[in-house]
Structures are given as structure tokens and as C-alpha cells.
A and B are shown apart, each in its own frame.
Chain A
Amino acid sequence: MSTIWILIPPLIAALLAGIRTPRAWVPGITVASCLVVLALAARTAWVVAAGGSVTADLGPAWANWVAVDGLSALILLLIAFVATTAAIYSIGYLAHGDLTLVKLRLYHANFNLFVFSMLAIPLIAEPTLVWIVVELTTLASALLVSFENTREALEAAWKYVVLSLMGAGFALFGFLVLFAAMRATGGETYTWAGLVAAAPRMPPLLMQTAFLLVLIGLGTKVGLVPMHTWLPDAHSQAPSPVCALLSGVETTSILYVILRFFPIMQAVPEAHAETWALVLGLISVGTAAFLLLQVHDYKRLFAFSTVEHMGIMLTAVGLGASAHYGAMQQIVSHAVTKSFCFFAAGATLLAVGTREIVAVRGLIGRAPAAAAALLLGGLGITGAPPLAVFLSEFAILKAGLATGHYVATGLLAVFIVIAFFGVMLHVNRMVFGTPEAAIPDAAPEHAAGHSSLPISCALALVLSAVPVLVLGVYVPAPLNALLQQAAAALSR
């Protein structure tokens, strides 16, 4: 089977959503496309986990440009899963009456293009082409972030586009320098695998420059502090299913590109790539943990939690090979839990019509389903046992202590605890707090009073709750094999 076929369904779906299909079909087309993608991605992941090789059958000249190993298969599977639940969630979330057909088509066309560009990131192995699809993720999601067309949403989209593209400019130069470094050794194949092979002969100065440019450039899009300023805006203003995609898998698929540098950089120990990861990661976790305490908007709460989680992943990569398994586990648990959190936040928004934390009190009485989901999401994302994130964070901390990184591990643990209290303080008040005398209506953004959750939203919540609950107690054997292969891909 040719892996590249995974890219076809979203393209067809984007086209169909854009032309004259009946209104009722448009959301269904997206869901169907995502289900096909999920099936193909699961099959690819299954084959890779079983030790088989999946290469694209493209003919000799292009043969190296598409390659899937454990790490890319893992990212592919996560993107497909979150895209599917987000597509299902979108049906009910956008079902309110005042949405014009043009807007609906715009949403679904962009949604599918966004999924297409994200799926292409792990599939393509040629770094400059990866850079282009990273650009496409920004451009395809820009109009999704500004979808609500409010002043705030436009501001968020603008910051998102300008800062992401600014970072991408630096990253482009980094990839060109990397190409020059490879050519200086007479290397022929400019792919991730070719770079790992050529790395010991490449000029260290060029590799170091390329690494830092890409770390800073793409780190902007991952949301690493201090380049994170756009992230809470964009990840809170977009419609909730889009937030789930942005926060759950877009950030990690960009982080994946940075992770591809670590096996290459191990050939130049004097570049200290892992120290960079450790320091930048800890700064991100720490800053996000404290910023979490002062948010006013519950979607921003989860957005800052994404900054925190990206920091945890990067820290784990910096802790060395024994923490890599935990880092991969964290990527999985973050993707499933964070998308669940944004679905819960969307359900809350549908029920109360405001994003202000202070305006939501005693949600458990008004909208029990949304309240329960919000509570599970809050507990899940902050690493309460026995949920998925707990297991992965525990694995990282354990590996950190075992390798003697006491200071870094201690700081990481403290920041994780602060973030736990930061998130749960707000969530607890929203769910159980006593309603104040009168809740002032802060200009409802949606028609409030959807006290019953749309069925498709409930279905998406249930589907994404399954891995959040299951992966906390049990990691299935094929997934375990995939995680181990992915972790191994981070070392030479």
C-alpha cells in the first residue's frame, strides 16, 4: 500500500465542501474523509508497530521523499484520531441557525485542508518540503481562527499568522543552511534519514546554526516561551473543534519536526542540543504554570496548559534517552486529553454563552454533562491519577531521577504541581462554585440555553474520553511497540 494515499481523502473533501454540495452533506463529507484517514493511519501504524516497513511507491527519483517510521506513524495516528473526533464534534457545534452556507463551506474546506497539511508533516521526509507543509498548516488554519469574525478573533488570527510566518522565515533559512551542511559533505539525499547518516561528517558550525534557527523558528509555532504570546489568543478564539486540532495535534506535529533534529545533532555533542531543549522546555513549563493562575477565560486556561505540555515534552527530550519513551507517551496523552478538554470547553460555551471564568459558577446544576466533561478534562490534563497524562508525566519524572537530573526533575515536578492547582482552582469554581446573586450576561457569543448538548458533540466527547481513561491504566501492546520505536527514533 502506498502511504501517500492518506493525503487524498482530505483534499477531495475540501473540494467537495467548497463546491455546490447540499448543505446537509457538508459536515458528513468531512467526517467520512476523516474516518477513511483514521483507518489508513491505523493500518500504517499497525504495520510499522509490527516491524514492517511502509514506504511510498513513487518511483525512484522521489522514493526517499516519503518515509514513515515509528515516530511519524505515531504522529499520523494522533492527527487522524483528533481530526475524526473534531469533525464529529463540528456537526453539532456549528448547527446553530445563524451560520450562512458560505461560512459553513469555508469552515469545512479549511478544516480539511488543515488536516491535509498536518498529515503531510510526518509523511514527508524532505526537510524543505516539510517546511512548506508547516507553512500550509498556518495558512489553512488562519481563517479557522478568525472564523467567529469578532474583533478578538481577527486579532488572534493576525497575531497567529504574523508570528508563525516570522518564525517560519528563520526556520527556512535554517533548513537551507542544513542543506548546505549536507552538500558540504557530498551527501546526496536530503531527507531525515540521509541527514542522520551524513551528520558525523557535516560542519558542526552549520549544524548548530541550522538547529538553533529551526528551534527558534518552529518553536514559535509550537508555543515555546518566550515566543508563545500568540498561542493563548489563537487557541482560545477559534471555534472549539478547531482549538482541539490546534492545541491537541498541530503543536505536537510541529514539535515533531524539531524532534527530528535530535538524532542528527547527537553527532555534534558540542552543540548541546539536549541542554537547549531542557532549558527552553523548563522555561516554558514554569512560565505557563504561573500564567495559568491569572487567566480570565477558560479556553485560555487550556491554551496555557498546552504551552506547559509542550515544555514538558521538550524537557523530557532534553533529559536523555531514558526519558524518550515518556516523552512519546506524553505526546499521545496530551493529544487525546487536550482535544477532550477543548470539546468540554466548547460544551460549556454552548451551555452558558460566555468564556469568562467568573461568569460560570455552579455549572454542575445548569449543564451536568458539560460540567462533568470539564471536570474530567481538568483532572486529566493536569495529570491526576489514574488518567493518561499522569502515567506519562510519571514516566518522565522517574526517568529524570534515574538519570540524575535532580534539579531539572525537581523543578519540573514543582511546576506540574503548580499547574495542577492553577487549572483545578478555576475548574473547581466553575463546576461547583455557588452562583453569585445574578450572573451578569457578558454579551453571550452563542445563543445561550443549549442546555442539552448536541448528540454529535456528546459522541465526540465520549469517543475522546476512551483513550483518556484507558491509557491511564493500560497501554495496549501494539501502541507500546509503536511508542518504543518512536522513542528509538530520537537517538542515532
Chain B
Amino acid sequence: MSDATRQLVENLNALAAGLFLLTSFGIVAMRQARGCLTLFIVQSLLLAASAALLGLRFGSGHLYGVALVNLITKPVIVPWLLRKVAPAGLYTRREVDQVLNIPTTLLIALALAIGAYFLGVPLSRAVGMEYQGPNVPIGIAGLLLGAFTLTVRREALPLLIGLLAMENGAFLAGILIAHDLSMLVELAIATDGLIIVFIVGVLVRAVAQQVGTTAVGELASLKEGPARRSAPEAGP
């Protein structure tokens, strides 16, 4: 590979990683449930693009496989599975009352992304690869922003997307630092993601039938303390 081509591939990978970070921010803040899913699909496509570019950079056929698996499972099978198992009203939900308002959420997300940079750069250096792209810091940011999504959202679909986005973040770093992980493991992890979608979908449907809401984050009847909902009164 000539120097100019290598430079181009590295720049394109940096672009894909940068856009990946943007989608992570979007998933935290996007109010529409359907918008979250779209952003997640875009994020998975960017992950696949980064894997393919790194495959080109390292001459690793294995990473092309990772890109292909991502391309098939997340943008195609995940939405299909969700349509099959999840309750119908899931997509149309719009969250008006988030735990934090959007500017505050984005400010905290920004702080997390900066923290991820300071964590990721030394880590990336310690691995000591000849090419240290932005994958590790942005992957950590994706991981942290996914976890942050889980704490601020209440609707089922954004919460599920938050879980899957965490895995995407771990993977964006993984395709650089652990690029020769066994293909069997990669396939198993991809299958695992699909099982997550299936089980969470089934649970959400049960919640929607039993409780009548898909805002699963608002379920909060199980706790300690004197005022228990079902505590019996003392005597007649």
C-alpha cells in the first residue's frame, strides 16, 4: 500500500470514528424513539465502515468478516426482530419528560467524551500498535455514552439502543486493539446481540400488556422502606 493510500484510509477511518461519536451524542439526546433506532443503524454502518477500512489498512481479511457481520445483523436483523417481537406502539413513542433536559444531558455527555479521550489515548499508546487511530478514545466514549443513555432514558426502545450502543462502542475500540480475535468469538458476540434484542423485546411486550406502558424506566414499586405499596394494614 502506498503512503498516500494509507493516509487516505487512515483519514477515512478517522472520519468514520468522528461520525460514530456524533451518533452516540444523538442517541443520548434524540427524543423520538424511531430516531434513536435510525441513529443506531447509522452508527452500526459506521462501525462496519471503520472495520473494513482497518481491514484494508492492516491487510486483514478477518476485519472484513467483522464488517460483513455488522452489516447484516444490526441494520437488517435488529429492526426485523423488533418488528416481530416488540409491541406495536414502540416506535411512535416520544419522550417529553426526560430525567434531565437536553442541554444538561448534552453537557454531561460532552464531559464524558472528554474524559474518554484522556482515558483512551494512554490506553491506545500502551497497546503500542504502529497505527493508533481515534478508535480507542471514541470507542470508550461510545461505551460511556451508551451507559449514560441507560441512566437518562425511560422509554424501552432508547434503553435497548443504549445497551446495543455500548457494545458498538466496545467493538469500535476492539477492531483496532483486538483485531485478530477469533472469528468464532466475533460471530458469537453478534448472535448475542440478537438474543438481547429478542429477550428485551419479549419483556417489553409483557410489560406493555401487563402494565400498559413502554416507559419501563418508570417502573419503581420494588424498594425497601416503610411505605410498601402492598404492605397490609395492621388489623381492621
A residues touching B (Cβ–Cβ < 8 Å)? 126, 128-129, 132, 135-136, 139, 142-143, 146, 149-152, 154-159, 161-162, 165-166, 169-170, 172-173, 176-177, 179-181, 183-184, 203, 205-206, 209, 232-233, 237, 291, 294-296, 300, 354, 356, 358-359, 436-443
Interface residues of B in 165-209 (CB under 8 A from A): 166-167, 169-170, 173-174, 177-178, 180-182, 185, 188-189, 192, 195-196, 199-200, 202-203, 206-207
Contact A233 B222 (CB under 8 A): yes
A98 to chain B: closest CB distance in Å?
16
Interface residues of B in 209-236 (CB under 8 A from A): 210-211, 216, 219-222, 224-225, 228, 230-236
By a CB distance below 8 angstroms, the chain A residues around B211 are: 151, 154
Contact B127 A155 (CB under 8 A): no
Stretch at the interface among B31-39, B60-68, B77-85, B140-148: B140-148
Quick one: given A129-B185, A176-B181, A205-B126, are A149 and B210 in contact (CB under 8 Å)? yes
Quick one: given A139-B199, A161-B199, A173-B170, are A206 and B230 in contact (CB under 8 Å)? no
Q: Does B150 contact A (CB under 8 A)?
A: yes
Contact A151 B210 (CB under 8 A): yes
By a CB distance below 8 angstroms, the chain B residues around A359 are: 232
Quick one: given A177-B123, A442-B232, are A162 and B224 in contact (CB under 8 Å)? no
Contact B146 A169 (CB under 8 A): yes
Q: Does B18 contact A (CB under 8 A)?
A: no
Contact B224 A143 (CB under 8 A): no
B22 to chain A: closest CB distance in Å?
20
Please tell me which one of the listed residues B128, B150, B180, B210 contacts residue A166 in the complex, with CB atoms under 8 A apart.
B150
Whole-angstrom CA separation of A170 from B188 in the bound complex: 17
Quick one: given A151-B211, A154-B219, A169-B146, are A183 and B202 in contact (CB under 8 Å)? no
Contact A154 B206 (CB under 8 A): yes
Contact A129 B199 (CB under 8 A): no
Whole-angstrom CA separation of A489 from B57 in the bound complex: 41
By a CB distance below 8 angstroms, the chain B residues around A128 are: 181-182, 185, 189
By a CB distance below 8 angstroms, the chain A residues around B207 are: 154, 158
Interchain Cβ contacts under 8 Å between A and B, 27 examples: A132-B189, A135-B196, A143-B199, A149-B210, A150-B210, A151-B211, A157-B203, A162-B163, A165-B196, A166-B150, A169-B146, A170-B166, A172-B174, A176-B178, A179-B177, A183-B178, A183-B180, A203-B127, A206-B127, A209-B123, A237-B222, A356-B231, A358-B231, A438-B235, A438-B236, A440-B235, A442-B231
Question: How many B residues have CB within 8 A of the partner chain?
Answer: 53
Whole-angstrom CA separation of A158 from B207 in the bound complex: 9
A163 to chain B: closest CB distance in Å?
8
Quick one: given A166-B163, A179-B181, A237-B222, are A184 and B173 in contact (CB under 8 Å)? no
Q: Residue on A with the closest CB to B174?
A: A176
By a CB distance below 8 angstroms, the chain B residues around A300 are: 224
Q: Residue on A with the closest CB to B168?
A: A169
Whole-angstrom CA separation of A443 from B167 in the bound complex: 42
Please tell me which one of the listed residues B173, B189, B233 contacts residue A440 in the complex, with CB atoms under 8 A apart.
B233
Cβ contacts B44-82/A at 8 Å (1 or 0 each): 000000000000000000000000000000000000000
B17 to chain A: closest CB distance in Å?
16
Q: Does B122 contact A (CB under 8 A)?
A: yes
**Which of A179, A359, A442 is packed against the most chain B CB atoms within 10 Å?**
A179
A254 to chain B: closest CB distance in Å?
16
Whole-angstrom CA separation of A352 from B188 in the bound complex: 45
By a CB distance below 8 angstroms, the chain B residues around A358 are: 231-232, 234
Q: Does B109 contact A (CB under 8 A)?
A: no
Contact B224 A291 (CB under 8 A): yes
Contact B196 A139 (CB under 8 A): yes
Q: Does B159 contact A (CB under 8 A)?
A: yes
Contact B203 A205 (CB under 8 A): no
Contact A129 B188 (CB under 8 A): yes
Contact B236 A162 (CB under 8 A): no
Sorted from nearest, which 5 A-B pairs have the closest CB atoms?
A: A169-B166, A180-B177, A155-B219, A440-B232, A173-B170
